[in-house]
Amino acid sequence: MSRRPKNIMPTGRLSISEMKKLVNKSAGVDVAFNLTEENPTEVEQWIETGSKWLDGIIRRGNWGGIPVGKISEIAGLEATGKSYMAAQIASNAQKQGIDVIYFDSESAIDPSFLSNAGCNLENLLYVQATSVEFVLETVESLLASNDGQMLFVWDSVALTPSISDIESDFNPLSTMAVKPRILSKGLSKLVQPIANKKATFLILNQLKTNITRSPSEALTTPYFTPGGKALAYSYSLRIWLTARKGKASFIMDDSGFRIGTEVKAKIEKSRFGSQGRQCSFKIIWGGDDVHILDRESWLEAIKSSDSLKTGGAWYTLVHKDGKEEKFQQKGWLEKLEDQKFYDRVIELLEEEVVLKFDEKTGKAEDFYELDGDK
């Protein structure tokens, strides 16, 4: 007489609620849900990037940022401010009570750099990223043992070797494709634990020029990121940073010294309905204060608004009651100190950056292209 295997459930029609209980009991954690009651994939918490314009183009229909519970990437060309933006995000995460674990593969992060960006070093764990395997295993271990919210920053995946890279010779062919396979497996293992623990994994990467014989491919895909194509499937958000070539990308002080960079951010991938959108802002890194010049970019973001008129060197902001305020670009920051003016600008920013894209009431080219991109 045959016996029923222990793992075979009793026959008979089960309700959705009964199936949910059985699946969760079998898994040992909550993995099954009734979507009419709860949405486990919805992002309920976001970490500000430091650029309100960027936060507005990440998430369709609302303000966003770096999504908590997901894996995100910030990739950029050399000197486009990847580490500076990561430090700003780490500072903003700490303000929400999130502990920061910073993996540094470049041995280039100075404590003063992080503190100048607003990070509390008492609540930040600095870890040298000795290998790809070490980083992934450390993240997995901390997720398993710590119930507190954590932000993992990996700076950067491109310069972190695998153990095979360390133990082999300098011939790149000897360890070809080893690192991409490790990353693909490791990140796929971490996606669910990160979501369950409401943790955040921010991976910094390099953008490299796509050298190809195909002119069409060079135009459509000018850049790529190291680590293999499979990495992209683990990311919920990919932000790519580029800059103008040469001296035009740098911000100078009154004496001509370089103190910052003007960058363009593109949403290369988004599971939040905003892929392809772009914005620009300036990052200040030369001095005692590392930060994004956030408010300076707002004027550019609302230029397409009917409530902002231009005439020569003058701008006219139209309030809801019809009253007008004239100002020049050099007086923009000073005008924002006025609460009424500030509130009106925030209204226009939400209208132009968030709502018009969501409702498809503006021109498509205004959302996807910046001056000089065409």
Q: Kindly compute the dihedral angle of the four CA atoms of residues 191, 270, 88, 299, in this order, to the nearest 10 degrees.
A: -170
**Angle 86-90-92 from CA coordinates, rounded to 5°:** 115
Of 311, 370, 353, 343, the closest CA to residue 64 belongs to 353
Q: Is residue 158 part of a domain?
A: yes
Closest CA to 207 of 105, 78, 103: 78
Confidence class for position 212, pLDDT limits 50, 70, 90: confident
Query: Based on the domain organization, do 326 and 200 belong to the same domain?
Result: no
Tokens 């309700």 correspond to what residue? 15
* Contact criterion met (CB below 8 Å) for 309 and 300: no
**Does residue 150 sit in the same domain as residue 268?**
yes
Domain count of the chain? 2
The encoded tokens of residue 45 equal 């918490």
pLDDT at 147: 94
> What residues contact 224, with CB distance under 8 A and at least 6 apart?
207, 208, 210
C-alpha neighbours within 13 Å on the C-beta side of residue 284: 14
Residue pLDDT, tens place only, 16-50? 999 999 999 998 888 899 999 888 889 999 999 99
Which tens digits make up the pLDDT trace of 130-181?
A: 999 999 999 999 999 999 999 999 999 999 999 998 888 776 666 768 899 9
pLDDT at residue 374, rounded to an integer: 41
Domain of 175, in residue numbers: 46-294
Q: Hey, is 107 helix, strand or coil?
A: coil
Last residue of a domain, one of 253, 275, 294: 294
Beta bridge partners of 239: 74, 267
Averaged confidence pLDDT in the chain: 90
Identify whether residues 89 and 136 lie together within a single domain: yes
Residue 85 and residue 119: Cα distance in Å, rounded? 12
Are residues 286 and 311 located together in one domain of the fold?
no
What share of the chain has pLDDT > 70, as a percent? 91
Q: Please tell me whether residues 256 and 360 are part of one structural domain.
A: no
69: left (phi over 0), alpha (psi -120 to 50) or beta: left
List the structure tokens of 282. 């300036």
The pLDDT score that the predictor gives to residue 372 is 46
Among 272, 294, 316, where does a domain finish? 294
**What percentage of the chain exceeds 90 in pLDDT?**
68
Same domain flag for 179 and 155: yes
User: What would the pLDDT profile of 179-193 be if each residue is shown by its tens digit?
Assistant: 999 999 999 999 999
Domain-ending residue, one of 234, 259, 294: 294
Q: Would residue 37 count as lying in a domain? A: no
- Are residues 244 and 345 both part of a single domain? no
pTM of the model: 0.90
Asked, for residue 192, whether it belongs to a domain, the answer is yes
Residues 129 and 242 in one domain: yes
Q: What is the DSSP string of 116-176?
A: HTT--GGGEEEEE---HHHHHHHHHHHHHH--S-EEEEEETSTTPPPHHHHHS-S-GGGGT
Chain-centre distance for alpha carbon 71: 9
Report whether pLDDT(8) > 70: no
